[in-house]
Chains A and B, each alone.
Chain A
Amino acid sequence: MELQLGLALPSNPIKDLDLNKHDPKDEFWTHSCCSTKNKAHKQSFDEDFEIVSPTLPLLSWNDKPNDDDGNGKSLENNYCIIHESNGEGDGIMGWPPITRCRRNLLHLLHQQQQQQQNQNGRAQHDRRDGRPNSMYVKVKMEGVAIGRKVNLSLHRSYQTLTNTLIAMFGEFSSDQGDDKRSNNGGRYTLTYQDRDGNWLLLGDIPWQTFLGSVQRLKILRSGGSLARVFRRNF
């Protein structure tokens, strides 16, 4: 019998484990234990794998449209999400299991719909609530149980949007700082979630592009989750 064994991907050679010494329970990560016991098994997984603990509210955001989960349920969800940080903001390779072709075509469909919406300019048709000339997105402030909705089509720039948000949520801040958008010294950080599910800082991209991509907003008390925002996206 011929025996030809070789590794196709030599960049990460697997340590050759003696079958007798191999104890399955030692090394891999299990799904049923859902908290800090989960560790990436470096020998079996590509280094780029990163296990994210479930206590990150940004990444385990519960997206039920009519359900405000200010009860912190997302913090208690005992499941783990594994993300590849390959710099593209993509998820797990080959997951969800949609064929390449379908994925590409759906992406194309999205892009075309977004272009159409952007071209309409002020007449933004929000297909989700069926009202013309409106583009409502949900806004939540970290630590505040009740979320609000803001109509982005009424705004022309980040400045007016920020002012509106201050007006909406000002009562919840313990100390009303002047600069709400500062990442360094301000008390709050404004973030938004884009079409791909990534959480990004407000203000980095042109307003029109932002309108085409934004799904929802979140106001963070900076210092807490900001570091995680950076790690997730950079």
Chain B
Amino acid sequence: MASKKKRNSTEGKENLVSPFPDEVLECVLGFVMSHRDRSSVSLVCKDWYSADRWSRTHVFIGNCYSVSPEILVRRFPNIRSVTLKGKPRFSDFNLVPANWGADIQSWLEVFASAYPHLEELRLKRMTVTDESLEFLAHSFPNFKALALVSCDGFSTDGLATIATYCKNLTELDILENGIEDLGGGWLSCFPENFSSLEILNFANLNSEVSFDALERLVTRCRSLKVLKANKSVTLEQLQRLLSRAPQLVELGSGSFSQDLTFQQYAELKNAFNNCRNLHTLSGLWEASSLYLPALYPACVNLTFLNLSYASLQSAEFAKLLPNCPLLRRLWVLDTVEDKGLEAVGSSCPLLEELRVFPAEPVVGGGGGVTESGFVAVSRGCRKLHYTLYFCRQMTNAAVATVVQNCPDFTHFRVCIMNPCQPDHLTNEPMDEAFGSVVKTCTKLRRLAVSGLLTDLSFEYIGRYAKNLETLSVAFAGSSDRGMQCVLEGCPKLRKLEIRDCPFGNVALLSGLERYESMRSLWMSACTVTMNGCRLLAREMPRAKKGCPSLRSHPLRIIISMHGRLSR
């Protein structure tokens, strides 16, 4: 292969220039998928920057305000797939006012001219209107995959446009969005000759869809791999869908309770028996323990079981688990209680991720899981590295035991639902609990703390959590020192979310050096004042200011000045 002249030749330094022709370099770089690695690649030298620039087909933008669409399209001319994240995570919890921003329309307009061959768009926490969806459907003839997670601003009418006009659609993934559900008619908009769908997820939409249309769609889309139906789909209907699509690898069932005849139950069980390719199972609304055994044969290869909408009791849950020996990820409601978690410990040795959600997410409620369930899981599941655990009580000793059993935690998120609650046995703060987490789990990347916490916990975090990238704090700390410890001590920190903590201007300004390397900072209901914000704005270079949020390029700093934001 003759070596070609480089696009950017560096005279007199040929020994330092890559010996590969550009085409080879671009080909090799095509195997580098992760966006972080791609960023690193582009920093090596001009040749590599250029090679990355021309060969990049997928771009990930973690903060839609960090770069303008015009700059993006100028740098990367050949993009086929875009992932964009918009609002701060706390918008999921109603802490961000409506009309905050993060509108996709301006991006779509630029993409329409620069990327007419755009195939994939994945959006998280963006505002998307029906008009934008219509614009999308008409502007990109090759469009294949649309994933909307926690977005808002559109209705099922927008989905109807997508279904009608995107002839090459392979993926439609509508997850946890605040959308206006005007009915299930959108599903019937897929044309009769349309058969390319591979992924369909409408589990979080409430309205009933035409089962007839759904069944026909499933029948003709022979490549359908993922089907997550909503709860309007009954057990009997599920059985019919399964018999049409035994090749499914991910299934979200509809409602799992119905008065079935013996015959119907047998057919259901048979249908599940034929679905041995399933590795993900979710849905199971109102799961009735009577019919759960029908599932068992389909669980043999399950790696991800999402029961977070099924209020199972410990007994039926404990019977289900031994049928899922390969389970790696488990999401469950706390109705299973500690006893259910003991069953997890004994039945799921390969478990890597456990999320326990509260069935009654209120302060001061009852029931749920405690520290003993947590310890029980850690004893049996030594590979556990991701947890999200909502509980009403916890102890320092229990957390210490858990991390001793499972020192490989990368994501440790424990939410004691009563704010400022101490160790319920010793009445001491929970400082030592999170201290033991950061001391033992050296790979920790994400941490969410709760319970009664003094500055000591933050001292621990600053001293030990050297790989920490995301920290979420609520109702914790005693003084500015807490936040300062974290900002000074955690070199890899990228996202810091703080609400209702006694951190003020001193703490805020202590992070000036750090903010440049961070993606976002959120502070609400703290004691920061307008003066503090002005000072910060003055000191931060290239800052664009607007209140109540301060947006800085490329970092986003959101500071809410009030106890809460009005609805």
Contacts and interface: CB of A to CB of B under 8 A. Distances in A.
Interface in A78-135: 78-84, 91-103, 105-106, 108-110, 112-113, 116, 127-128, 130
A220 interface: no
A6 B547 contact: yes
Contact of A63 (B311, B366, B421, B547): B366
Contacts of A34: 420, 452
Contact of B548 (A8, A41, A59, A110): A8
B563 A44 contact: yes
Contact of A101 (B90, B204, B357): B204
Interface in B490-535: 499-500, 502-507, 525-527, 529-535
A4 to B, nearest CB: 6
- Name A's interface SS: loop
Interface in A1-19: 1-9, 11-12, 14, 16-19
B357 to A, nearest CB: 7
A5 B307 CA distance: 46
A27 interface: yes
A4 B564 contact: no
Interface stretch (B50-58, B295-303, B471-479): B471-479
Interface of A: 1-9, 11-12, 14, 16-19, 22, 24-25, 27-32, 34, 41, 44-46, 48-49, 59-61, 63-65, 76-84, 91-103, 105-106, 108-110, 112-113, 116, 127-128, 130, 195-197, 215-216
A27 B359 contact: no
A101 B90 CA distance: 13
A61 B357 contact: no
A46 B525 CA distance: 9
Interface string B355-379: 0011111111111001000000000
B176 A81 contact: no
Nearest to B427: A78
Contacts of A80: 419-420
A166 B454 CA distance: 47
Given A79-B421, A101-B177, A105-B309, A16 B365 contact: no
A127 B290 CA distance: 13
B345 interface: no
Contacts of A196: 362
Contacts of B94: 93-94, 100
Interface residues of B, number: 85
B452 A32 contact: yes
Interface of B: 90, 92-95, 97, 150, 176-178, 204, 206, 285-286, 308-309, 311, 313, 315, 357-367, 370, 390, 392-393, 415, 417-422, 427, 429, 452-454, 472, 474-480, 499-500, 502-507, 525-527, 529-535, 537, 543-548, 561-566
Nearest to A18: B531
B564 A46 contact: yes
B419 A103 contact: no
Nearest to A12: B562
B28 to A, nearest CB: 40
B545 A31 contact: no
Contact of A96 (B285, B358, B526): B358
8 contacts: A5-B537, A19-B535, A63-B392, A79-B421, A91-B363, A92-B363, A97-B472, A99-B93
Contacts, number: 226
A32 B360 contact: no
A73 B357 CA distance: 27
Given A32-B452, A79-B420, A7 B204 contact: no
B419 A197 contact: no
Given A99-B176, A196-B362, A81 B419 contact: yes
Contact of A22 (B90, B286, B502, B531): B531
A48 to B, nearest CB: 8
A231 to B, nearest CB: 15
Nearest to B90: A94
A110 B176 CA distance: 18
A109 B93 contact: no
Contacts of A103: 361
A17 B505 CA distance: 11
Nearest to B150: A99
Contacts of B548: 7-9
Given A27-B527, A31-B453, A99-B92, A22 B504 contact: yes
B364 A60 contact: yes
A204 to B, nearest CB: 20
B545 A4 contact: yes
B419 A14 contact: no
Contacts of B415: 96-97
A121 to B, nearest CB: 17
Nearest to A31: B420
B342 to A, nearest CB: 16
B502 A197 contact: no
Q: Which 6 A-B pairs have the closest CB atoms?
A: A63-B366, A94-B93, A45-B563, A46-B563, A101-B176, A91-B363
A98 B357 contact: yes
Contact of A5 (B370, B476, B534): B534
Nearest to B388: A97
Given A9-B566, A22-B532, A31-B477, 8 more contacts: A5-B545, A17-B529, A22-B531, A24-B527, A45-B562, A61-B364, A94-B93, A101-B176
